[in-house]
């Protein structure tokens, strides 16, 4: 058998699968980067190294993903020699965590305009779904038009 290593833009075991930063923002779960040994499951297996990134209330999916990508490069640079020389430590995940499929994501894209949520939940949902240049969240208006929604946040120091 061949040893395969994956660089995952999520903090395993949280939000394995598609768009971890989206689900982390919405579900208030940690986000970061994980380098792990691959097994038969998706984004699953012994962890070689991982690190959480901070998510601020003014950041959208694009912002968080950029931070995660930077962290992936940082971690990869830190462990590449150990991986190539087979001198790395394997850490078992502390739980099975959760997995989000592309269908889970696509099912979240259409906004239910009649759903009752708090303003915090609405803002978190919209910032999680805002990832320029992509158009993700939308609603169908009274004329049958598909209307895309994105959230612009600006922090003033």
Residue written as token pair 């395969």? 4
Tens of pLDDT, residues 112-140: 999 999 999 999 999 999 999 999 999 99
Tens of pLDDT, residues 62-114: 999 999 999 999 999 999 999 999 999 999 998 888 999 999 999 999 999 99
Tens of pLDDT, residues 10-67: 999 999 999 999 999 999 999 999 999 998 888 889 999 999 999 999 999 999 999 9
Tell me the percentage of the chain whose pLDDT exceeds 70.
100
Give catalytic residues, as residue numbers.
8
Coil, helix or strand at residue 67: helix
Q: Which domains does the chain have, with CATH numbers?
A: 5-149 (3.40.50.170)
Q: Strand pairing partners for 79? A: none
Q: What is the pTM of this model?
A: 0.92
């Amino acid at each position: 058998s061949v040893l395969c290593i994956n660089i995952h833009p999520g903090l395993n075991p949280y939000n394995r699968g598609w768009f971890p930063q989206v689900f982390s923002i919405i579900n208030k779960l940690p986000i970061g980067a994980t380098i792990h040994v691959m097994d038969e499951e998706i984004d699953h297996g012994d962890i070689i190294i991982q690190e959480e990134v901070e998510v601020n209330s003014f950041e959208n999916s694009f912002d968080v993903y950029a931070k995660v990508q930077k962290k992936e490069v940082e971690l990869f640079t830190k462990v590449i020699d150990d991986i190539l020389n087979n001198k790395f430590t394997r850490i078992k995940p502390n739980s099975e965590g959760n997995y989000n499929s592309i269908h889970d994501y696509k099912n979240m894209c259409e906004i239910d305009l009649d759903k009752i949520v708090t303003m915090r939940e609405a803002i978190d949902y919209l910032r999680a779904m805002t990832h320029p240049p992509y158009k993700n969240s939308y609603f169908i208006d009274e004329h049958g038009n598909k209307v895309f929604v994105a959230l612009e946040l600006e922090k003033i120091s």
